[in-house]
Amino acid sequence: MNVAVVDASVALAWAMPDEQGELEAEVLRAHQERRIGLLAPSVWEYEVANALRSAVRRGRVAQDSGYELLATLLGMGIAFTGFADLSRRAWQLALSGPLTVYGASYVALAEARGCDLYTCDAKLADAVTDVVNVRLIRSE
């Protein structure tokens, strides 16, 4: 089975139906049909939870719905990698360019696994095209 790293921006597009485009839906379908395995650094869980909390606070999502969305995303079967396994490379990437350590952890994982990185974040994609193959789904 092919694998790909998926960042929090893609997962949030899945959670917010008004944000979901064609490619986000295709990646989700491929994962659900077990044609692709999804990977993420463990920071993904916190980033997704925090973004959904922000959506609740802004009134975009009801409080109960926000947690249901979080539980659904956490139950999708994404394989998580702890930061300790990615820390050295993520640190190097973050210090050598415009990436945060959070963003660099996605890149480090994709690099280590030799797979694509799916993101909706154009700034992240632009910063790492020379490091990994980035599939920019759409710009945030």
DSSP state, residue 18 = G
Contact indicator for 30, 36 with CB cutoff of 8 Å: yes
What strands lie across the sheet with 134-136, from one edge to the other? 79-81, 36-41, 2-6, 116-119, 134-136
Alpha carbons 92 and 47: distance in angstroms, whole number? 21
In what helix (H) or strand (E) does residue 107 lie, and over which residues does it extend?
helix 101-113
Contact indicator for 108, 132 with CB cutoff of 8 Å: no
Alpha carbons 49 and 53: distance in angstroms, whole number? 6
In what helix (H) or strand (E) does residue 62 lie, and over which residues does it extend?
none
- Tokens at 44, concatenated: 């993904």
Contact indicator for 103, 140 with CB cutoff of 8 Å: no
Mean local confidence (pLDDT), 96-109: 95
Homologous superfamily of the 2-136 domain (CATH): 5'-nuclease (3.40.50.1010)
Mean local confidence (pLDDT), 8-37: 76
Q: Domain residues of the chain, as ranges?
A: 2-136
Per-residue pLDDT reduced to its tens digit, 33-89: 778 899 999 999 999 999 999 999 999 889 889 999 999 999 999 999 999 999 999
